[in-house]
Amino acid sequence: MKTRNRWRRAWLLAVGALAGFALAPALAVAQEFQKVNGPLREELPATPFVAAAYGFIWIALLAYVAWLARGVGRVRKDLAELRGRIGEQADRGGPRP
C-alpha cells in the first residue's frame, strides 16, 4: 500500500513538473511586453474598406437601374408587338379591343 502511494506521489510530481515546464515559456512571454516607439500603426488600412463599401452601393444601384431599364424595354417591345397584331386585325376588318 505504501509503495502504491509513493508511486502515485511520484506520478503527480512528474505531471506537475511537466506542466510547469510547458507553461514556463508562456509565462515568460507574458512578462515581456514591448513598448511601442513612435505613433501606433494601424494594422488594416481603412481606405480599401470605405472604397469597397461606396463602390458596392454604386454598383448595386446601377445594376438595379439597368435591370429596370431592361424591364421597361421588354414592356415597350411587347406593347409594340400587340399594337402590330391589333393593326393587322383592324386591316382585316375584325373587331378592335
Task: Give contact residues for other proteins (rule: CB under 8 A).
Answer: 42, 44, 46-47, 49-50, 52-54, 56-58, 60-61, 64-65, 68, 71-72, 75-76, 78-79, 82, 85-86, 89, 92, 94-97
Kindly report the CA angle at 65 between 59 and 68, in degrees rounded to 5? 140
Task: Determine the Cα–Cα distance for residues 81 and 89; give it in Å rounded to an integer.
Answer: 13
Residue whose C-alpha cell reads 511520484 in the numeric block: 10
Write down the least CB distance from residue 92 to other proteins, Å: 7
Nearer to other proteins, 33 or 67 (CB): 67
Please report how close the Cβ of residue 36 comes to other proteins at its closest, in angstroms.
Answer: 17
Residue 38: DSSP 8-state: S
Q: With respect to other proteins, which residue has the nearer C-beta, 27 or 51?
A: 51
Q: What is the dihedral of CA 14, 16, 18, 19, to 10 degrees?
A: 160
Minimum distance from residue 47 beta carbon to other proteins (Å): 7
